[in-house]
Amino acid sequence: MSRATIELATTATADGLSSIALKICSPPSPIAAAVFAHGGCFSDGCSQSHPAVTEALAGIGIASVSSTYRQGAAHPHPTAQHDLACVAEFARRRWPSLPLGVIGSSSGGWHALALSRTIEGMRFCVALCPVADPLLRAEYLRECVQGTAAVAGWRVCHEPSVAGRMLAKQLGYWGDDESMRAAGEMLLPAHAVPTMLVLGGVDKNVPLRVAEGVQGWAHRTLILGGMGHEIQDAPPAANSWVPDVKAFVASALVGTAAATKGAPCDQEAP
């Protein structure tokens, strides 16, 4: 198999006052292109994050553009969405003849799900372990900090110190509970863009309940049992999500994925 080509570039922010670093990962003969939104607790990460994911996408014919979009307390919401919209414009200029979609990991999964609603003409959306409901994730992290997650019904639990750091980063971007509530509610209505969720059955960073609202209307949900948040950083060696994503994107491009909206999820053993 021919290796993907990696290029570095920049594109301007919407106000033209700054630039966004980009990494372009292109297979020899792409069938589609995607904006890739990295994860990082709404605070960390850059255009070089998750290389195994973008290389896996290239392996199934999807060219991608990753970015160092602005986020965190220094660049609160909706800065990241504005920057990612500029990245989408870059992708359209770069691949004008290819269908364009959006793929995101973890916190980037929320951005991907949101972008599929706010940018016209998106052909598919794939969210890996998405923080689909930021407020519910914050409530989970608070329970972990207090040591009450199990009592509150969560099947997994982070160490209090880890949960505290994650919560601080997430709150830095969103600012308050009301902003996080609105972000989750934005994703609840059924949406026409073919959307696939890939979830880890024992994910301590993003428990399954955090994605339940979106799962109710998503066109495909794949739950990898026994696996955690690591699946959003790289495809697992066994029971990889890559073949399922390949099949889903192919169906989206020919218009059959939307016909399966709300289909039951698939759960695979580790």
DSSP string computed for 114-173 = HHHHHSTT---EEEES----HHHHHHHHHHHHHT-TTTTT-S----HHHHHHHHHHHHHH
Distance CA 263, CA 229 (A): 23
Check residue 65 and report its DSSP letter: E
pLDDT at 270: 45
**Has this prediction a pTM greater than 0.85?**
yes
125, 101 Cβ separation under 8 angstroms:
yes
Distance CA 34, CA 269 (A): 29
pLDDT at 257: 73
Angle at CA 67, nearest 5°, toward 115 and 6?
A: 120
**Two tokens, residue 185:** 């509610």
| 187-191 long-range contacts, CB within 8 A, separation 24+ | 187/110, 187/113, 187/114, 187/117, 187/132, 187/133, 187/213, 187/214, 188/213, 188/214, 188/216, 189/217, 190/217, 190/261, 190/262, 191/116, 191/117, 191/217
pLDDT at 247: 97
pLDDT at 151: 96
Closest among 126, 121, 92, 97 to 111, alpha carbons compared = 126
Q: Is 87 helix (H, G, I), strand (E, B) or coil?
A: helix
Distance CA 55, CA 2 (A): 12
Sequence letter at residue 90? F
Q: Is 218 helix (H, G, I), strand (E, B) or coil?
A: coil
245, 196 Cβ separation under 8 angstroms:
yes
Enumerate the β-bridge partners of residue 220: 196
Give the contacts of 160 (CB within 8 A, at least 6 positions apart): 144, 145, 146, 147
The ranges of the chain with pLDDT < 70 are 1-2, 258-270
pLDDT at 3: 85
